[in-house]
Chains A and B, each alone.
Chain A
Amino acid sequence: MQSTNSQYHQSDSQLNDELTQINLAKQNPEAFETLYNKYYEQIFRYVYQRMDDVDLARDVVSQVFLKAMNKLNSYEFRGVPFSAWLYRIAYSELNQAFRENSQTRTINIESSQLPEIELDDEAYSYSEEHKSALISALSQLSEKHLQFIEFRYFEKRSVREVSDIMNISEGNVKVSTHRALKKLQALVIKQLDL
């Protein structure tokens, strides 16, 4: 069973407090600082997880919050938490950065996380050779598939959170994650020539 990122889940009371804070920030940019402080680290880690350079990641994160402040008046609570909204901006800003080729997409893996990827193949043993094949396969995944692997296995995000961030249904998240795993598995097998 996977552990998930508990930071994402908030009680009704916390959500209400946050809505209050957002309403205040809509009126007064100074009030946005509370939200900035609350979510800076989460968003930074999300961005930096996909980048190679701290300073460039900082720039992207600044753009994320700047865009959030500029578009805050358009934010309405319609069942999607504010954090998911920020992640969507971050996702968009990252894609923009990669499209412009100004920054290199990076996959940052902790080796301890690799066994958590649930490859459905008995032949796979997590030996060093197999780990290398898995890492190589990860780099060959499409951006879409890679996102789901990163969300679910490297960042331990719940299906619900991924659903909110990606703006797709939870069922779609499960299906897409499954497809990503299948694709990854096929690439690993190809690498190992099994």
Chain B
Amino acid sequence: MKTPKVNIDRPHLSSKDIQGFKDFAALKQQLPVTSYPSLTSSWFGATFAGIAILAGIIGLQNVSPEHNETLPEQTMITDNRADETTHQNLSEASEGVIQYMEDIKPTIHEYKNADGYEFIHETGSKITIPANAFRNKEGALPEDIEFHYREFHDPISVWMSKIPMEYDSLERYFFESAGMNELRAYANGEELELDPENPIEISMVSFDDSDEMNLYALNDKTGDWTYLDHLPHENLMETIHEQNILPSHDIPDLKHIDKQIMALVNKGLTKPEIRSYNEQKHSFDLEVDLADYPSLSGFKNVIFEVVDQANFDTKVYDVEWSNAEILPSGKSGVYKLQLSKQYQTKNILVIPVLKGQDLQAALKTQEQEKKQIQSQIKKLQISKQDILDHYKKKTEQFEQENKARVVEDLEKLDQVEKRLRQQKAINYLSQQNFQTNTKAKSAKVEKAVVRTRNFFASMTGVFNFDCARRGPQNRRGGRAQDRAESDQEFLDNKFGKRKKVSLINKITGATIVPVTLFLIEKGRNLIYKFNKGEQASSFAFNPKAQNVVWCETSDGKIAVFRSEDFDRLPMQAENYELGMRVSPEPLLTKREIENFLGLNTFIASN
């Protein structure tokens, strides 16, 4: 590039100026006619379904071009996969290695729609289908459901499935997967739709602990992926959720104790205040039988002092009364002295007073009685508390016992199920030739930490937790001699000085010119693809990784350059000549392919 020109404080262009430059009509005219798909494409706008995501829902609002109306439900996304011709297995509809599909065919579960269904997949994933989840295109609920389910956890499975795992948007990206699944349902040979209101709960086992993975749904027809959400992963064996289903217990009836306490309190309150006799005040010294007055019991030689001293008529003393009676006045501590003779009666409000030793004795007695009452009240209160404590303890004990039992039962069930899932996952992992990006990949499989990625799917199809990656790492950062470009068919001069890579049959020496080269790296669940004739698809590999490169030959065989072959590749060479091992015949199964690619030794070299 020439030395840039520098402008200082160039006159500013206003928004209005810039807006005036726009010419969309002219732009459209330059557009090739074939750039856009037909608006009458049958799959578009045919069906809408939703995806509800377990932890947080992303809303993708869609507008149908046919009706030009906005869908009201924010959680809805367009199900572009409703075309019946596309709902066969993707790989079956694709060109290429159809026979491989036998290895990764879905497991089929038959059940009654009205009952719902739950199962644990061979990988340890748990799928919970609610009742009446599926309906046919007429909206009717079929009785018998045939549910198809499969998962993809390794690059060879994905390669064999032909599910598109890259996209080319200015630059080529490859999807590193943390687990992909496909779910379909059929009745009488007809593919069914999933009721968005009845989503399927999926707890998919994942052997990848990366936090970068997003959930995507595949459009069967176009091969495009729709972003759904970013969801965390969980450790399968650490997600035990306690359920609060313990019964509650009534506290015992303590009213009888409260009544006793109140009676004692009242007894204390009803005792009249003991007052000292005042000889200056008007009073009556009467011979009264106090047996009828419990509140005065214990008092001796009680004198009754007039309450209303000011208005007391002393003439009362001059009358010879035939009878004197102490009656209750209705007011605590105050009595009514009723004096009478023949037809004459005199009522005087009085209060009891004492003097001398009688006063001291009464005070002492009253103090003792107070203490006695307080003691009794205290005993009752302790008794009440004891009962409460007893029941509380009993309740707690009961709850604890029951909780322990219930939780234990739940844990047992949960743990049994999770152990089962864990074991299945480990069994599955141990059978794989290519371990994915789990932390335990370099440890023993038995100690692998199995994680789950959970979501609700409210439409059928293919879902993938993945992250888009550019080409192999270090391909630009490594030493120049570590960067490799393929031969002319793959050459891209974008990065300047390049090595050429040619492929030959290791035995015959014949040149191999593949349509596509595939590259995988140990420990990564993704496949890099390098297509013939695509400028943005120049072959490169990470010299710091263990790599395997392969391609399909024109006669359906597989040619491979194994990891150990890379070890012998002279990095100082001017150009790379990859001596490929070519399979003697087409390979039919996943196991055959993996073995031929040397992926079994990939693990052994851990």
Contacts and interface: CB of A to CB of B under 8 A. Distances in A.
A89 interface: yes
Which interface residue of B169, B171, B222 has the most chain A CB atoms within 10 A?
Answer: B169
Contacts of A41: 15, 18-19
B10 A76 contact: no
Contacts of B222: 73
Nearest to A88: B170
B27 A66 contact: yes
A86 to B, nearest CB: 10
Contacts of B225: 76, 78
A48 B35 CA distance: 28
Given A101-B2, A107-B6, A139-B6, A27 B39 contact: yes
Contacts of A66: 27, 30-31
Interface string A31-52: 1110011001100110010001
A169 B102 CA distance: 41
Interface stretch (B60-68, B245-253, B439-447): B60-68
A19 B58 CA distance: 12
Contact of A58 (B15, B21, B167, B470): B21
B274 to A, nearest CB: 82
Interface string A149-164: 0000000000000000
A36 B41 CA distance: 25
A31 B35 CA distance: 14
Nearest to B22: A40
A76 B224 contact: yes
B24 A79 contact: no
A36 B26 CA distance: 12
B8 interface: yes
Contacts of A140: 3
Interface stretch (A108-116, A117-125, A174-182, A185-193): A108-116
A61 B78 CA distance: 32
Interface string B22-50: 11101110111001110101001000000
A19 B144 CA distance: 38
A106 B6 contact: yes
Interface in A89-106: 89, 92, 98-99, 101, 104-106
Given A69-B35, A78-B214, A106-B6, A143 B1 contact: yes
A148 interface: no
Contacts of B7: 52, 106-109
B9 interface: yes
B168 interface: yes
B333 interface: no
A17 B5 CA distance: 40
A79 B213 CA distance: 11
A24 B63 contact: yes
A28 interface: yes
B18 A107 contact: no
A52 B35 contact: no
Nearest to B64: A24
A28 B65 contact: yes
B173 interface: yes
Nearest to B175: A78
Interface string A53-87: 01000100110011001110111111100000100
A26 interface: yes
Given A78-B468, A109-B7, A143-B1, A89 B170 contact: yes
B13 interface: yes
B514 interface: no
A23 interface: yes
A20 B27 contact: no
Contacts of B78: 23
A135 to B, nearest CB: 6
A173 interface: no
Contact of B61 (A20, A36, A69, A99): A20
A37 B21 CA distance: 11
B509 interface: no
A76 B59 contact: no
Contact of B37 (A13, A27, A107): A27
Q: Would you call the interface of chain A mostly helix, strand, loop, or mixed?
A: helix
Which interface residue of A13, A28, A108, A146 has the most chain B CB atoms within 10 A?
Answer: A108
Contacts of A99: 1
A71 B172 CA distance: 13
Interface in B53-89: 58-63, 65, 78
Contacts of A58: 21
B167 A76 contact: yes
B596 interface: no
A77 B65 contact: no
B461 to A, nearest CB: 16
A184 interface: no
Contacts of B9: 109-111
Contacts of A98: 1
Nearest to A143: B1
B31 A107 contact: no
Contacts of B186: none
A62 B29 CA distance: 12
A29 interface: yes
A79 B214 contact: yes
B169 A29 contact: no
Contacts of A108: 7, 10
A76 B65 contact: no
B60 A19 contact: yes
A13 B7 CA distance: 40
A106 B31 contact: no
B356 interface: no
Contacts of B6: 106-107, 109, 135, 138-139
A76 B2 contact: no
Given A76-B167, A104-B5, A36 B24 contact: yes
Contact of A146 (B4, B15, B30): B4
A167 B167 CA distance: 15
Contacts of A54: 13, 21
Contacts of B61: 16-17, 20
B21 A44 contact: yes
A128 B58 CA distance: 54
B227 interface: yes
Nearest to A37: B22
A79 B30 CA distance: 30
Contact of A33 (B24, B30, B58): B24
A65 B21 contact: no
Nearest to A17: B61
Given A19-B60, A30-B28, A54-B21, 12 more contacts: A27-B41, A29-B31, A33-B24, A37-B24, A69-B27, A73-B224, A78-B173, A78-B225, A107-B6, A107-B7, A139-B3, A140-B3
7 contacts: A28-B65, A74-B167, A76-B226, A78-B167, A78-B468, A105-B4, A106-B6
Interface of B: 1-10, 13, 15, 18-19, 21-24, 26-28, 30-32, 35-37, 39, 41, 44, 58-63, 65, 78, 167-171, 173, 214, 222, 224-227, 468, 470
